Chains A and B, each alone.
Chain A
Amino acid sequence: MKAGSKLERVLKAGHFAFTGEVGPPRGANVNSIREKLKHLKGNVDMVNVTDNQTAMVRMSSWAASIICIQEGVEPNFQMVCRDRNRIAMQADILGAYAHGIRNMLCLSGDHQMFGDHPQSKGVFDLDSMQLIMMVKKMRDEGKFLSGADIDVKPEIFIGAAANPFAEPFEWRVHRLAKKVAAGADFIQTQCVYNMPKIREWIRQANDMGLTEKVYILPGVTPMKSIGMAKYMQSKVPGMDVPDEIIKRLQGVDKKKVADEGIKIACEQIAEFKETKGIAGVHLMPIEWEHMVPEIAERAGVLPRPEV
Protein backbone atom coordinates (compact mmCIF):
# COMPACT_ATOMS: atom_id res chain seq x y z
CA MET A 1 0.00 0.00 0.00
CA LYS A 2 1.27 3.42 -0.92
CA ALA A 3 -1.16 5.47 1.09
CA GLY A 4 -3.81 3.05 2.31
CA SER A 5 -6.69 5.26 1.22
CA LYS A 6 -10.06 3.62 0.73
CA LEU A 7 -9.75 4.20 -3.00
CA GLU A 8 -6.41 2.44 -3.07
CA ARG A 9 -7.82 -0.48 -1.06
CA VAL A 10 -10.86 -0.78 -3.35
CA LEU A 11 -8.70 -0.80 -6.47
CA LYS A 12 -6.05 -3.08 -5.03
CA ALA A 13 -8.73 -5.62 -4.07
CA GLY A 14 -9.81 -5.65 -7.71
CA HIS A 15 -13.18 -3.97 -7.23
CA PHE A 16 -14.60 -1.67 -9.89
CA ALA A 17 -14.16 1.74 -8.28
CA PHE A 18 -16.91 4.35 -8.30
CA THR A 19 -15.92 7.89 -7.36
CA GLY A 20 -17.90 11.10 -7.12
CA GLU A 21 -17.32 14.81 -6.99
CA VAL A 22 -18.32 17.78 -4.91
CA GLY A 23 -17.70 21.47 -5.55
CA PRO A 24 -16.97 23.55 -2.43
CA PRO A 25 -19.33 26.46 -1.77
CA ARG A 26 -18.87 30.08 -2.87
CA GLY A 27 -18.68 31.11 0.74
CA ALA A 28 -18.21 29.55 4.12
CA ASN A 29 -21.48 27.63 3.86
CA VAL A 30 -20.58 24.40 5.58
CA ASN A 31 -24.15 23.14 5.48
CA SER A 32 -24.34 23.22 1.69
CA ILE A 33 -21.38 20.90 1.37
CA ARG A 34 -22.70 18.64 4.15
CA GLU A 35 -26.02 18.48 2.30
CA LYS A 36 -24.32 17.43 -0.95
CA LEU A 37 -22.27 14.80 0.86
CA LYS A 38 -25.41 13.13 2.24
CA HIS A 39 -26.26 12.03 -1.29
CA LEU A 40 -22.76 10.73 -1.93
CA LYS A 41 -22.05 8.89 1.33
CA GLY A 42 -22.10 5.14 0.85
CA ASN A 43 -22.78 5.46 -2.87
CA VAL A 44 -19.22 6.28 -3.95
CA ASP A 45 -15.77 5.19 -2.73
CA MET A 46 -14.51 8.74 -2.45
CA VAL A 47 -15.31 12.23 -3.69
CA ASN A 48 -13.12 14.63 -5.61
CA VAL A 49 -13.10 18.03 -3.96
CA THR A 50 -12.54 20.59 -6.68
CA ASP A 51 -9.98 23.37 -6.33
CA ASN A 52 -11.45 26.73 -7.33
CA GLN A 53 -12.89 25.12 -10.45
CA THR A 54 -13.20 27.34 -13.52
CA ALA A 55 -11.01 29.75 -11.54
CA MET A 56 -13.95 30.94 -9.40
CA VAL A 57 -13.06 31.55 -5.78
CA ARG A 58 -14.53 28.90 -3.51
CA MET A 59 -13.81 27.41 -0.11
CA SER A 60 -10.32 25.91 -0.35
CA SER A 61 -10.27 22.30 -1.46
CA TRP A 62 -8.25 21.05 1.51
CA ALA A 63 -10.66 22.70 3.95
CA ALA A 64 -13.67 21.20 2.17
CA SER A 65 -11.84 17.86 2.12
CA ILE A 66 -11.63 17.96 5.92
CA ILE A 67 -15.39 18.50 6.07
CA CYS A 68 -15.75 15.37 3.91
CA ILE A 69 -13.70 13.40 6.42
CA GLN A 70 -15.90 14.72 9.25
CA GLU A 71 -18.94 13.48 7.32
CA GLY A 72 -17.45 10.02 6.78
CA VAL A 73 -16.75 10.46 3.07
CA GLU A 74 -13.22 9.95 1.78
CA PRO A 75 -11.97 13.01 -0.13
CA ASN A 76 -9.77 13.28 -3.17
CA PHE A 77 -8.07 16.63 -2.60
CA GLN A 78 -7.69 18.38 -5.95
CA MET A 79 -4.76 20.72 -6.34
CA VAL A 80 -4.23 22.99 -9.33
CA CYS A 81 -0.97 24.63 -10.38
CA ARG A 82 -2.65 27.95 -11.10
CA ASP A 83 -2.90 29.34 -7.57
CA ARG A 84 0.13 28.14 -5.62
CA ASN A 85 3.87 28.02 -6.04
CA ARG A 86 5.93 24.98 -5.03
CA ILE A 87 6.34 26.29 -1.49
CA ALA A 88 2.61 26.65 -0.87
CA MET A 89 1.90 23.35 -2.63
CA GLN A 90 4.23 21.37 -0.41
CA ALA A 91 2.92 23.14 2.68
CA ASP A 92 -0.68 22.30 1.73
CA ILE A 93 0.22 18.68 0.98
CA LEU A 94 1.72 18.32 4.45
CA GLY A 95 -1.25 20.05 6.04
CA ALA A 96 -3.73 17.95 4.10
CA TYR A 97 -1.98 14.74 5.09
CA ALA A 98 -1.83 15.84 8.72
CA HIS A 99 -5.63 16.17 8.65
CA GLY A 100 -6.16 12.68 7.25
CA ILE A 101 -6.32 13.37 3.53
CA ARG A 102 -4.91 10.39 1.62
CA ASN A 103 -5.80 11.01 -2.05
CA MET A 104 -4.79 13.90 -4.27
CA LEU A 105 -5.55 14.83 -7.85
CA CYS A 106 -2.79 16.87 -9.48
CA LEU A 107 -4.05 19.28 -12.15
CA SER A 108 -2.87 22.25 -14.19
CA GLY A 109 -6.12 24.12 -13.54
CA ASP A 110 -8.39 26.19 -15.75
CA HIS A 111 -6.83 29.44 -16.83
CA GLN A 112 -7.54 32.34 -14.45
CA MET A 113 -9.18 34.36 -17.24
CA PHE A 114 -12.26 32.11 -17.02
CA GLY A 115 -12.98 32.96 -13.42
CA ASP A 116 -14.17 35.88 -11.35
CA HIS A 117 -10.67 37.34 -10.94
CA PRO A 118 -9.32 37.39 -14.50
CA GLN A 119 -6.75 40.05 -13.52
CA SER A 120 -5.01 37.67 -11.12
CA LYS A 121 -1.50 36.41 -11.68
CA GLY A 122 -1.53 32.76 -12.70
CA VAL A 123 1.25 31.01 -10.82
CA PHE A 124 2.06 27.84 -12.81
CA ASP A 125 5.38 27.54 -11.00
CA LEU A 126 5.06 23.80 -11.65
CA ASP A 127 2.89 22.06 -14.21
CA SER A 128 0.71 19.06 -13.40
CA MET A 129 3.43 16.61 -14.46
CA GLN A 130 5.96 18.22 -12.15
CA LEU A 131 3.39 18.34 -9.33
CA ILE A 132 2.88 14.57 -9.63
CA MET A 133 6.66 14.08 -9.47
CA MET A 134 6.90 16.30 -6.43
CA VAL A 135 4.17 14.45 -4.48
CA LYS A 136 5.83 11.14 -5.32
CA LYS A 137 9.19 12.41 -4.16
CA MET A 138 7.67 13.63 -0.89
CA ARG A 139 5.94 10.29 -0.36
CA ASP A 140 8.52 7.77 -1.58
CA GLU A 141 11.79 9.51 -0.80
CA GLY A 142 10.61 11.62 2.12
CA LYS A 143 12.14 14.66 0.50
CA PHE A 144 11.00 18.11 -0.47
CA LEU A 145 11.48 19.17 -4.08
CA SER A 146 14.63 20.97 -2.93
CA GLY A 147 16.04 17.66 -1.70
CA ALA A 148 15.76 18.47 2.01
CA ASP A 149 14.41 15.76 4.31
CA ILE A 150 10.79 15.67 5.48
CA ASP A 151 10.44 14.36 9.03
CA VAL A 152 7.04 12.66 8.61
CA LYS A 153 6.37 12.07 4.94
CA PRO A 154 2.90 12.48 3.48
CA GLU A 155 1.57 9.16 2.19
CA ILE A 156 -0.69 10.19 -0.61
CA PHE A 157 -2.36 8.09 -3.32
CA ILE A 158 -1.51 10.15 -6.37
CA GLY A 159 -4.14 10.95 -8.97
CA ALA A 160 -3.80 12.70 -12.30
CA ALA A 161 -6.15 13.76 -15.04
CA ALA A 162 -6.19 12.80 -18.69
CA ASN A 163 -8.18 14.15 -21.57
CA PRO A 164 -8.15 11.51 -24.31
CA PHE A 165 -10.19 13.79 -26.58
CA ALA A 166 -8.02 16.87 -26.86
CA GLU A 167 -5.81 17.27 -29.91
CA PRO A 168 -3.39 15.94 -30.93
CA PHE A 169 -5.07 12.60 -30.22
CA GLU A 170 -1.94 10.58 -31.14
CA TRP A 171 -0.02 12.36 -28.40
CA ARG A 172 -2.56 11.68 -25.64
CA VAL A 173 -1.42 8.19 -24.77
CA HIS A 174 2.18 9.41 -24.61
CA ARG A 175 1.17 12.16 -22.24
CA LEU A 176 -0.55 9.49 -20.14
CA ALA A 177 2.72 7.54 -20.21
CA LYS A 178 4.53 10.63 -18.94
CA LYS A 179 2.07 10.98 -16.07
CA VAL A 180 2.54 7.33 -15.17
CA ALA A 181 6.32 7.76 -15.30
CA ALA A 182 5.98 10.88 -13.13
CA GLY A 183 4.25 8.77 -10.49
CA ALA A 184 0.48 8.80 -11.00
CA ASP A 185 -1.26 5.90 -9.25
CA PHE A 186 -4.68 6.57 -10.75
CA ILE A 187 -6.12 8.58 -13.61
CA GLN A 188 -9.49 10.25 -13.86
CA THR A 189 -10.44 11.38 -17.34
CA GLN A 190 -12.37 14.24 -18.84
CA CYS A 191 -16.11 13.46 -19.24
CA VAL A 192 -16.49 10.76 -21.86
CA TYR A 193 -19.12 10.99 -24.58
CA ASN A 194 -17.13 9.78 -27.57
CA MET A 195 -16.99 6.05 -26.90
CA PRO A 196 -15.04 4.99 -30.03
CA LYS A 197 -12.29 7.42 -29.09
CA ILE A 198 -11.95 6.26 -25.49
CA ARG A 199 -11.93 2.63 -26.66
CA GLU A 200 -9.03 3.45 -28.97
CA TRP A 201 -7.17 5.37 -26.25
CA ILE A 202 -7.57 2.50 -23.77
CA ARG A 203 -6.43 0.03 -26.42
CA GLN A 204 -3.28 2.09 -26.94
CA ALA A 205 -2.75 2.30 -23.16
CA ASN A 206 -3.18 -1.48 -22.89
CA ASP A 207 -0.71 -2.04 -25.75
CA MET A 208 1.87 0.17 -24.06
CA GLY A 209 1.44 -1.68 -20.77
CA LEU A 210 0.25 1.47 -19.02
CA THR A 211 -2.93 -0.03 -17.61
CA GLU A 212 -0.83 -2.48 -15.62
CA LYS A 213 0.85 0.43 -13.90
CA VAL A 214 -2.03 2.83 -13.33
CA TYR A 215 -5.73 2.58 -12.52
CA ILE A 216 -7.84 4.37 -15.12
CA LEU A 217 -11.26 5.76 -14.20
CA PRO A 218 -13.08 7.35 -17.14
CA GLY A 219 -15.20 10.38 -16.29
CA VAL A 220 -18.96 10.13 -16.70
CA THR A 221 -21.33 13.10 -16.54
CA PRO A 222 -24.98 12.44 -17.31
CA MET A 223 -26.55 15.02 -19.60
CA LYS A 224 -29.38 16.80 -17.81
CA SER A 225 -30.77 18.56 -20.86
CA ILE A 226 -30.30 19.14 -24.58
CA GLY A 227 -29.06 22.64 -23.74
CA MET A 228 -26.34 21.23 -21.52
CA ALA A 229 -25.26 18.81 -24.25
CA LYS A 230 -25.08 21.59 -26.83
CA TYR A 231 -23.21 23.86 -24.44
CA MET A 232 -20.66 21.17 -23.68
CA GLN A 233 -20.25 20.42 -27.36
CA SER A 234 -19.61 23.98 -28.46
CA LYS A 235 -18.42 25.95 -25.44
CA VAL A 236 -16.28 23.72 -23.20
CA PRO A 237 -12.67 23.48 -24.41
CA GLY A 238 -11.38 19.96 -24.77
CA MET A 239 -14.86 18.41 -24.58
CA ASP A 240 -15.91 15.98 -27.30
CA VAL A 241 -19.69 15.51 -27.56
CA PRO A 242 -20.65 13.61 -30.73
CA ASP A 243 -23.83 14.69 -32.54
CA GLU A 244 -25.36 11.25 -31.88
CA ILE A 245 -25.59 12.07 -28.16
CA ILE A 246 -27.56 15.25 -28.90
CA LYS A 247 -29.76 13.44 -31.45
CA ARG A 248 -30.51 10.71 -28.95
CA LEU A 249 -31.57 13.25 -26.31
CA GLN A 250 -33.68 15.07 -28.91
CA GLY A 251 -35.35 11.80 -29.84
CA VAL A 252 -37.15 11.33 -26.53
CA ASP A 253 -40.10 13.09 -24.93
CA LYS A 254 -39.10 16.42 -23.32
CA LYS A 255 -39.83 15.11 -19.84
CA LYS A 256 -37.63 12.08 -20.45
CA VAL A 257 -34.45 13.88 -21.55
CA ALA A 258 -32.73 13.76 -18.14
CA ASP A 259 -33.72 10.12 -17.79
CA GLU A 260 -32.22 9.41 -21.22
CA GLY A 261 -29.03 11.16 -20.08
CA ILE A 262 -28.80 8.80 -17.10
CA LYS A 263 -29.52 5.86 -19.40
CA ILE A 264 -26.58 6.83 -21.62
CA ALA A 265 -24.34 7.17 -18.56
CA CYS A 266 -25.41 3.73 -17.29
CA GLU A 267 -24.70 2.15 -20.67
CA GLN A 268 -21.23 3.70 -20.61
CA ILE A 269 -20.58 2.41 -17.09
CA ALA A 270 -21.78 -1.07 -18.10
CA GLU A 271 -19.30 -1.09 -20.97
CA PHE A 272 -16.45 0.25 -18.83
CA LYS A 273 -17.02 -2.56 -16.31
CA GLU A 274 -16.29 -5.05 -19.06
CA THR A 275 -13.35 -3.18 -20.61
CA LYS A 276 -9.84 -4.46 -20.05
CA GLY A 277 -7.68 -1.69 -18.64
CA ILE A 278 -10.48 0.26 -16.97
CA ALA A 279 -10.53 0.07 -13.19
CA GLY A 280 -13.59 2.13 -12.33
CA VAL A 281 -15.64 5.19 -13.16
CA HIS A 282 -15.50 8.77 -11.97
CA LEU A 283 -19.01 10.21 -11.82
CA MET A 284 -19.21 14.00 -12.12
CA PRO A 285 -22.85 14.96 -11.68
CA ILE A 286 -22.50 18.72 -12.09
CA GLU A 287 -24.81 20.27 -9.46
CA TRP A 288 -26.84 17.06 -9.52
CA GLU A 289 -25.50 15.40 -6.40
CA HIS A 290 -28.99 14.40 -5.23
CA MET A 291 -29.27 12.12 -8.27
CA VAL A 292 -26.15 10.12 -7.35
CA PRO A 293 -28.01 7.44 -5.35
CA GLU A 294 -30.37 6.78 -8.28
CA ILE A 295 -27.55 6.79 -10.85
CA ALA A 296 -25.43 4.44 -8.71
CA GLU A 297 -28.41 2.14 -8.26
CA ARG A 298 -29.27 2.08 -11.95
CA ALA A 299 -25.61 1.62 -12.93
CA GLY A 300 -25.47 -1.46 -10.73
CA VAL A 301 -22.49 -0.31 -8.69
CA LEU A 302 -24.18 -0.72 -5.30
CA PRO A 303 -23.50 -1.70 -2.64
CA ARG A 304 -20.00 -0.25 -2.49
CA PRO A 305 -17.43 -2.75 -1.22
CA GLU A 306 -16.28 -2.60 2.40
CA VAL A 307 -12.53 -2.83 2.33
Chain B
Amino acid sequence: MIVAERKPFDEIRSMVSNYKKVLTVGCGTCVAVCLAGGSKEVETLNAELNLAFKKDGIEFGAETLQRQCDMEFLAELDNKVDQYDCLLSMACGAGIQFLAERFPNKPVFPAVNTSFIGVNLDVGWYEEKCRACGQCVLAMTGGVCPVTMCAKSLFNGPCGGTNKTSCEIHTDQPCAWFKIYERLSGQGRLDQIMKISPPNDWSNQKPRKVIQPGYEERVKAMNS
Protein backbone atom coordinates (compact mmCIF):
# COMPACT_ATOMS: atom_id res chain seq x y z
CA MET B 1 0.00 0.00 0.00
CA ILE B 2 0.89 3.66 -0.20
CA VAL B 3 1.96 4.91 3.21
CA ALA B 4 1.56 8.53 4.28
CA GLU B 5 2.03 10.62 7.41
CA ARG B 6 -0.03 13.59 8.47
CA LYS B 7 1.75 16.89 8.06
CA PRO B 8 2.66 18.89 11.18
CA PHE B 9 -0.43 20.68 12.43
CA ASP B 10 1.10 24.16 12.14
CA GLU B 11 1.79 23.61 8.47
CA ILE B 12 -1.82 22.54 7.84
CA ARG B 13 -3.11 25.45 9.87
CA SER B 14 -1.14 28.01 7.89
CA MET B 15 -2.40 26.57 4.58
CA VAL B 16 -6.06 27.03 5.41
CA SER B 17 -5.99 30.10 7.65
CA ASN B 18 -7.12 32.53 4.92
CA TYR B 19 -10.32 30.65 4.04
CA LYS B 20 -13.77 30.64 5.58
CA LYS B 21 -15.11 27.21 4.59
CA VAL B 22 -12.79 24.27 4.26
CA LEU B 23 -13.70 20.75 3.16
CA THR B 24 -11.40 18.07 4.57
CA VAL B 25 -11.44 15.10 2.20
CA GLY B 26 -10.30 11.69 3.43
CA CYS B 27 -9.52 8.62 1.39
CA GLY B 28 -10.77 5.18 2.38
CA THR B 29 -8.04 3.05 0.86
CA CYS B 30 -4.26 3.02 1.50
CA VAL B 31 -4.05 6.08 3.75
CA ALA B 32 -6.95 4.77 5.83
CA VAL B 33 -5.19 1.44 6.37
CA CYS B 34 -2.00 3.18 7.46
CA LEU B 35 -3.92 5.47 9.82
CA ALA B 36 -3.00 8.73 8.06
CA GLY B 37 -6.01 9.92 6.08
CA GLY B 38 -9.15 7.81 6.53
CA SER B 39 -12.47 8.97 7.98
CA LYS B 40 -11.17 8.67 11.52
CA GLU B 41 -8.16 10.85 10.79
CA VAL B 42 -10.41 13.41 9.02
CA GLU B 43 -12.49 13.62 12.17
CA THR B 44 -9.43 14.05 14.39
CA LEU B 45 -7.91 16.72 12.16
CA ASN B 46 -11.16 18.67 11.95
CA ALA B 47 -11.53 18.58 15.73
CA GLU B 48 -8.05 20.07 16.08
CA LEU B 49 -8.74 22.67 13.39
CA ASN B 50 -12.07 23.66 14.94
CA LEU B 51 -10.33 24.20 18.22
CA ALA B 52 -7.52 26.23 16.66
CA PHE B 53 -9.83 28.45 14.56
CA LYS B 54 -12.70 28.79 17.04
CA LYS B 55 -12.25 32.57 17.23
CA ASP B 56 -11.82 32.99 13.47
CA GLY B 57 -15.09 31.33 12.61
CA ILE B 58 -13.69 28.99 9.97
CA GLU B 59 -16.00 26.09 9.18
CA PHE B 60 -14.65 22.65 8.44
CA GLY B 61 -16.67 20.08 6.53
CA ALA B 62 -15.75 16.40 6.26
CA GLU B 63 -16.09 13.85 3.45
CA THR B 64 -14.26 10.57 3.00
CA LEU B 65 -14.31 8.96 -0.42
CA GLN B 66 -13.54 5.32 -1.10
CA ARG B 67 -10.65 6.36 -3.34
CA GLN B 68 -9.40 9.77 -4.41
CA CYS B 69 -7.38 8.22 -7.23
CA ASP B 70 -10.57 7.41 -9.16
CA MET B 71 -12.82 9.98 -10.90
CA GLU B 72 -15.85 7.79 -10.25
CA PHE B 73 -15.55 8.41 -6.53
CA LEU B 74 -14.46 12.03 -6.88
CA ALA B 75 -17.74 12.65 -8.73
CA GLU B 76 -19.52 12.20 -5.39
CA LEU B 77 -18.19 15.64 -4.42
CA ASP B 78 -19.43 17.44 -7.53
CA ASN B 79 -22.48 18.90 -5.80
CA LYS B 80 -20.70 19.69 -2.57
CA VAL B 81 -17.50 21.58 -3.31
CA ASP B 82 -19.23 24.78 -4.38
CA GLN B 83 -20.07 25.47 -0.76
CA TYR B 84 -16.37 25.53 0.18
CA ASP B 85 -13.50 27.95 -0.42
CA CYS B 86 -10.81 25.29 -0.46
CA LEU B 87 -10.22 21.56 -0.18
CA LEU B 88 -7.86 19.89 2.27
CA SER B 89 -7.03 16.40 1.05
CA MET B 90 -5.78 13.62 3.26
CA ALA B 91 -5.14 11.25 0.34
CA CYS B 92 -1.76 10.30 -1.07
CA GLY B 93 -0.08 12.56 -3.61
CA ALA B 94 -1.90 10.82 -6.46
CA GLY B 95 -5.30 11.35 -4.87
CA ILE B 96 -4.58 14.99 -4.03
CA GLN B 97 -3.63 15.72 -7.64
CA PHE B 98 -6.67 13.95 -9.02
CA LEU B 99 -8.90 15.90 -6.65
CA ALA B 100 -7.28 19.14 -7.83
CA GLU B 101 -7.79 18.07 -11.43
CA ARG B 102 -11.48 17.36 -10.80
CA PHE B 103 -12.02 20.78 -9.21
CA PRO B 104 -9.55 23.07 -10.96
CA ASN B 105 -11.17 26.26 -9.61
CA LYS B 106 -10.70 25.30 -5.97
CA PRO B 107 -7.41 25.57 -4.09
CA VAL B 108 -6.45 22.05 -2.95
CA PHE B 109 -4.03 21.56 -0.06
CA PRO B 110 -2.24 18.42 1.11
CA ALA B 111 -2.75 17.44 4.75
CA VAL B 112 -0.37 14.47 4.52
CA ASN B 113 3.12 13.76 3.24
CA THR B 114 3.09 10.70 1.01
CA SER B 115 5.94 8.55 2.26
CA PHE B 116 6.36 5.33 0.33
CA ILE B 117 4.99 2.05 -1.00
CA GLY B 118 5.32 -0.30 1.92
CA VAL B 119 4.09 -3.04 4.17
CA ASN B 120 2.40 -3.32 7.51
CA LEU B 121 4.89 -4.51 10.15
CA ASP B 122 2.40 -4.01 12.99
CA VAL B 123 -0.44 -1.62 13.84
CA GLY B 124 0.92 1.85 13.07
CA TRP B 125 4.29 0.51 11.92
CA TYR B 126 5.17 0.45 8.24
CA GLU B 127 8.28 -0.17 6.18
CA GLU B 128 9.16 0.90 2.68
CA LYS B 129 9.56 -1.95 0.23
CA CYS B 130 9.25 -0.64 -3.31
CA ARG B 131 10.34 2.47 -5.23
CA ALA B 132 8.21 1.65 -8.27
CA CYS B 133 11.33 1.89 -10.43
CA GLY B 134 9.61 0.06 -13.26
CA GLN B 135 12.44 -2.46 -13.78
CA CYS B 136 11.86 -5.15 -11.17
CA VAL B 137 14.98 -7.18 -10.34
CA LEU B 138 13.54 -9.20 -7.45
CA ALA B 139 14.04 -12.45 -9.37
CA MET B 140 17.79 -11.85 -9.41
CA THR B 141 18.04 -10.59 -5.84
CA GLY B 142 16.13 -13.28 -3.98
CA GLY B 143 13.07 -11.11 -3.35
CA VAL B 144 14.96 -8.27 -1.61
CA CYS B 145 14.84 -4.95 -3.47
CA PRO B 146 18.28 -3.36 -3.89
CA VAL B 147 16.79 -0.13 -5.22
CA THR B 148 14.68 0.42 -2.10
CA MET B 149 16.52 -1.41 0.66
CA CYS B 150 20.10 -0.42 -0.26
CA ALA B 151 20.79 3.20 0.70
CA LYS B 152 22.85 3.57 -2.48
CA SER B 153 20.52 1.51 -4.69
CA LEU B 154 23.47 -0.64 -5.73
CA PHE B 155 22.93 -3.37 -8.30
CA ASN B 156 26.24 -5.10 -7.51
CA GLY B 157 26.58 -4.88 -3.75
CA PRO B 158 27.33 -5.04 -0.95
CA CYS B 159 29.55 -1.97 -0.78
CA GLY B 160 32.52 -1.71 1.55
CA GLY B 161 30.42 0.13 4.12
CA THR B 162 28.58 -2.99 5.24
CA ASN B 163 28.84 -2.80 9.00
CA LYS B 164 28.74 -6.44 10.07
CA THR B 165 25.20 -7.14 8.81
CA SER B 166 23.88 -3.60 8.83
CA CYS B 167 24.06 -0.67 6.46
CA GLU B 168 26.65 2.07 6.93
CA ILE B 169 23.87 4.63 7.39
CA HIS B 170 22.57 3.08 10.62
CA THR B 171 23.01 -0.05 12.68
CA ASP B 172 19.19 -0.45 12.73
CA GLN B 173 19.11 -0.66 8.95
CA PRO B 174 19.98 -4.11 7.64
CA CYS B 175 22.35 -4.25 4.66
CA ALA B 176 20.15 -5.17 1.69
CA TRP B 177 22.98 -6.95 -0.07
CA PHE B 178 23.84 -8.94 3.03
CA LYS B 179 20.21 -10.11 3.05
CA ILE B 180 20.32 -10.81 -0.68
CA TYR B 181 23.47 -12.88 -0.19
CA GLU B 182 21.94 -14.82 2.73
CA ARG B 183 18.68 -15.49 0.89
CA LEU B 184 20.33 -16.66 -2.33
CA SER B 185 22.99 -18.62 -0.47
CA GLY B 186 20.27 -20.45 1.45
CA GLN B 187 18.50 -21.27 -1.81
CA GLY B 188 21.71 -22.36 -3.51
CA ARG B 189 21.23 -19.58 -6.08
CA LEU B 190 24.33 -17.39 -5.64
CA ASP B 191 24.97 -17.73 -9.37
CA GLN B 192 22.23 -15.10 -9.76
CA ILE B 193 24.57 -12.39 -8.49
CA MET B 194 27.90 -13.73 -9.78
CA LYS B 195 27.17 -11.98 -13.07
CA ILE B 196 27.52 -8.21 -13.27
CA SER B 197 24.23 -6.33 -13.34
CA PRO B 198 24.41 -3.78 -16.15
CA PRO B 199 23.49 -0.10 -15.65
CA ASN B 200 19.83 0.30 -14.80
CA ASP B 201 17.27 2.06 -16.97
CA TRP B 202 16.22 5.05 -14.86
CA SER B 203 13.94 6.52 -17.52
CA ASN B 204 11.23 6.23 -14.88
CA GLN B 205 12.05 9.86 -14.13
CA LYS B 206 9.58 11.01 -16.74
CA PRO B 207 5.86 10.70 -15.93
CA ARG B 208 4.67 7.19 -16.73
CA LYS B 209 1.44 5.64 -17.93
CA VAL B 210 0.31 2.03 -17.99
CA ILE B 211 -2.29 0.68 -20.40
CA GLN B 212 -3.05 -2.97 -19.76
CA PRO B 213 -3.28 -5.33 -22.73
CA GLY B 214 -6.71 -5.22 -24.32
CA TYR B 215 -7.41 -1.61 -23.30
CA GLU B 216 -5.37 0.17 -25.96
CA GLU B 217 -8.31 0.79 -28.30
CA ARG B 218 -10.48 2.10 -25.52
CA VAL B 219 -7.77 4.57 -24.46
CA LYS B 220 -7.28 5.65 -28.06
CA ALA B 221 -10.98 6.32 -28.41
CA MET B 222 -11.07 8.33 -25.19
CA ASN B 223 -8.14 10.46 -26.32
CA SER B 224 -9.60 11.24 -29.73
**Chain A residues close to B by CB (< 8 Å):** 81-82, 86, 108-111, 113-114, 122, 124-130, 133-134, 145, 161-163, 166-168, 171, 174-175, 177-178, 181-182, 190, 237-238
Contact = CB atoms under 8 A, between A and B. Distances in A.
Contact of A166 (B160, B198, B202): B160
Contacts of B154: 108, 124, 127-128
B181 A166 contact: no
Contacts of A128: 154, 156, 159
A237 B173 CA distance: 13
Contacts of B175: 167
B153 interface: yes
A166 B196 contact: no
- Say whether chain B's binding surface is mostly helix, strand, loop, or mixed: loop
A238 B182 contact: no
A127 B157 contact: yes
Given A125-B202, A129-B197, A130-B199, A167 B164 contact: yes
B199 A86 contact: yes
Contacts of A133: 196, 198-199
16 contacts: A108-B159, A111-B168, A113-B169, A125-B199, A127-B152, A127-B155, A129-B155, A129-B156, A130-B199, A133-B196, A161-B160, A163-B159, A167-B175, A167-B178, A168-B181, A171-B181
Contacts of B118: none
Give the bracket for the number of chain B residues in contact with chain A: 20 to 34
A82 B196 CA distance: 19
B44 interface: no
A166 B197 CA distance: 21
B152 A238 contact: no
Given A81-B152, A111-B169, A113-B169, A182 B196 contact: yes
B154 to A, nearest CB: 4
B152 A124 contact: yes
B178 A181 contact: no
A42 to B, nearest CB: 30
Contacts of B200: 125
Scoring A114, A162, A178 by chain B CB atoms within 10 A of each residue's CB, the highest score goes to: A178
Contact of A130 (B156, B168, B190): B156
B163 A237 contact: yes
A234 to B, nearest CB: 10
B157 to A, nearest CB: 7
A183 to B, nearest CB: 10
A194 to B, nearest CB: 14
A95 to B, nearest CB: 21
A167 B197 CA distance: 20
A237 B160 CA distance: 8
Given A125-B202, A134-B199, A166-B158, A111 B163 contact: no
B179 to A, nearest CB: 10
Contacts of B197: 129-130
A111 B161 contact: yes
Nearest to B160: A163
B163 A238 contact: yes
